[in-house]
Structure 1
């Protein structure tokens, strides 16, 4: 019989090891992933596509619901949420008939949830259960406030080095992985910045100075107090007044550099 593949996602090592220990005695289970944060969970679940996930809700940076909300909705696994006491979460889970384990849980409660999930997987009833999960995610997304969306996930950076040349952004209860090469330019916008990619943009709560420090200087150049440009998307520099330039981008947009930043622009292109 084919084993049920399982991913465990929890920021606490003791919690991950505890669930692993309980599962190791089950011959029907194959543990294929152990994740210590939300970003790892998104990547692992997308790559492995397990049958079942034990998902901690209160992970810092990217929480468990944001992980699930960021996955491909057509291939969602069965999910057992693991949570410390949270009246809001418990109310939402019960309202949408989603199984959960309340820390600290007993072995009996754990195996009851596990056997229920195994039964759903074996009987191919995930479609019905995931309809409840999608309703839960919709409920969660509507409850999100401005403070919890539209920001860069800095917990995934070390020394301003980005993960696999991607910028990771939380927006609207989802996590987006933006390839740096696809970012055309970044625009200051009040207390936010707009990150422009092709025909869309992402609005995040960040200063342009912080973005300048985060983005690699060999590819991104500050041309104005309100704009940073990816030099790979520049197709023409047209001289303008006062040592300024009109910068034409490959998406059809035109930006103006300011003389305060002309040395940076000239240094990049040796002009």
Structure 2
């Protein structure tokens, strides 16, 4: 079994300690150092020539991408991103970064990532250019294209990223989502075929994540306007919204007027 000289880079020392403890269970991993900022990491890289770096993305001062920029392409080690940000993780995976781990790091996912590194050939390890393409996606949504080129497909514009902390992220097209309802700190995301559970709050989903076709119809429910076929009136100025699969969702009086206006506008468009 090949020994992998490994460097841990994270601005939170507690995260480094936790990862080091988990890595101790893997005999092929030899931790040769750790760093809490990019400049220290670069010094250690020059001293130890690691085969693998567990690299945090968001760090004060210089990010993990600033570290990658300064690596020599011909000696760029394998990189496993370690991040608390789901959008970074998914985008990193999409441009063929070797792997990523979401904080808090789960032992099973760590084992999968190490197995992938151990079995990968040199030609399968992401190059410096591919790793920097992640940065380009985050900055402007393009993969080193000319300034006149159209933007590439961006995951967060077309799909909802669902991560439960135990499994790889799932990508659910917004167009497939019929409605979303709340269950405490969790959301149930319903399509015609499946229901997905994600940890999020309704308010933040509406404000920060979902496209404008998603509208609140109840204190605990969001509906995709594209899948509403009709409204059935109820007493007290309330309605039932009937979806394309004949699912009936209650529309509270507070949200009935905005929903009717949006549906009317959609009909005119």
- Normalization by structure 2: what TM-score? 0.50
Q: How many residues align?
A: 170
Gaps of 5+ in 1: 1-7, 25-35, 46-52, 70-88, 101-112, 122-155
Determine the structure 1 residue equivalent to 2:92: 41
Determine the structure 1 residue equivalent to 2:162: 169
Asked whether the equivalents of residues 239 and 246 of structure 1 are also in contact (C-alpha less than 8 Å), the reply is: yes
Determine the structure 2 residue equivalent to 1:240: 234
Report whether the alignment pairs 1:203 with 2:197. yes
- Deviations 1:7-43, CA, capped at 9 Å, x for gaps: x99542324642624159xxxxxxxxxxx94222321
| Equivalent-residue separation in structure 2 for 1:157 and 1:15 (angstroms) | 15
Report whether the alignment pairs 1:213 with 2:266. no
Determine the structure 2 residue equivalent to 1:187: 181
Asked whether the equivalents of residues 38 and 61 of structure 1 are also in contact (C-alpha less than 8 Å), the reply is: no
| Equivalent-residue separation in structure 2 for 1:204 and 1:170 (angstroms) | 6
Task: Tell me the SS of whatever aligns to 2:246.
Answer: coil
| Equivalent-residue separation in structure 2 for 1:21 and 1:242 (angstroms) | 70
Structure 1 runs (4+) deviating above 4 angstroms are 60-66, 96-100
| Equivalent-residue separation in structure 2 for 1:162 and 1:189 (angstroms) | 26
Deviation at 1:212, TM superposition (A): 2.0
Asked whether the equivalents of residues 38 and 64 of structure 1 are also in contact (C-alpha less than 8 Å), the reply is: no
Q: Cα–Cα, structure 1 residues 264 and 165, in superposed 2: closer, same or farther, change >3 Å?
A: same
Task: Say which of 67, 73, 83 aligns to 1:20.
Answer: 73
Asked whether the equivalents of residues 192 and 207 of structure 1 are also in contact (C-alpha less than 8 Å), the reply is: yes
| Equivalent-residue separation in structure 2 for 1:208 and 1:20 (angstroms) | 44
| Equivalent-residue separation in structure 2 for 1:44 and 1:197 (angstroms) | 27
Determine the structure 1 residue equivalent to 2:31: none
Asked whether the equivalents of residues 91 and 155 of structure 2 are also in contact (C-alpha less than 8 Å), the reply is: no
| Equivalent-residue separation in structure 2 for 1:198 and 1:117 (angstroms) | 41
Determine the structure 1 residue equivalent to 2:249: 255
- Normalization by structure 1: what TM-score? 0.50
| Equivalent-residue separation in structure 2 for 1:226 and 1:175 (angstroms) | 24
Q: Cα–Cα, structure 1 residues 255 and 99, in superposed 2: closer, same or farther, change >3 Å?
A: closer
| Equivalent-residue separation in structure 1 for 2:247 and 2:263 (angstroms) | 20
Please report the RMSD computed on the Cα atoms of aligned residues, expressed in angstroms: 4.3
Task: Tell me the SS of whatever aligns to 2:90.
Answer: helix
| Equivalent-residue separation in structure 1 for 2:185 and 2:116 (angstroms) | 38
